[in-house]
Amino acid sequence: MKFFVDTADVDAIRELNDLGFVDGVTTNPSLIAKSGRDILEVTKEICEMVEGPVSAEVVATDYAQMIEEGRKLAEIAPNIAVKVPLTLDGLRACKTLSGEGKMVNVTLCFSANQALLAAKAGATFISPFIGRLDDINLDGLELIADIRQIYDNYGFETQILAASIRSANHMSDCAKIGADVATAPPAVIKAMANHVLTDKGLAAFLADAEKAGIKIV
């Protein structure tokens, strides 16, 4: 499973990228606003840092404006994935932009039917939101499984990009289900390395090494 980092914080991206954990980046208007920087400027910097896809989202809601914004964003770098919302206008924009050879990430997916439409429209990525479904007592992971089954049934090439990840457990659960990609905040990706028994074992090893006077250099 590929790891995308869900942030516009270039320092956080650089840290994870140096560790080899970043296969791509996802941003959205909320994350761009949080960065306090110009969308074109920060997106360009991220694209220069990361080799994989970088999702940059349009802010328009009508087809014509989405196309204009999408083409503008795609000019930033060849690894831009234009992010559009899962509306009829967004699906129409997806079909046009993907037909032009651009990567398209269809976002805000909350049902298998929506994911099926996105695949038919030629989406490169579909972004089902796990955490937001869990917030309203629906099973976000079940949606990932449903989409996986449908896409496999018909050989759709659209990649399942699990989004709205809230925990390290979400990451491993998505991997078990067969999500192609999971995008998560930096803190969640780093938390995957944590385990209380690792900490306990390391403390014991270090204590024994100190008692025995073990030194390597």
Q: Is the separation of the CB atoms in 188 and 171 below 8 Å?
A: yes
How far apart, in Å, do the first and last CA atoms of the chain sit?
38
Q: How far is the CA of 98 from the CAs of 22, 31, 145, 161, in angstroms?
A: 24, 24, 25, 17
Euclidean distance between CA atoms 181 and 1, whole angstroms: 5
**Residue of 83, 176, 200, 211 marked active site:** 83
Euclidean distance between CA atoms 150 and 146, whole angstroms: 6
Q: Is the separation of the CB atoms in 52 and 23 below 8 Å?
A: yes
Euclidean distance between CA atoms 53 and 11, whole angstroms: 18
Active site residue 83: yes
Active-site residue set? 83
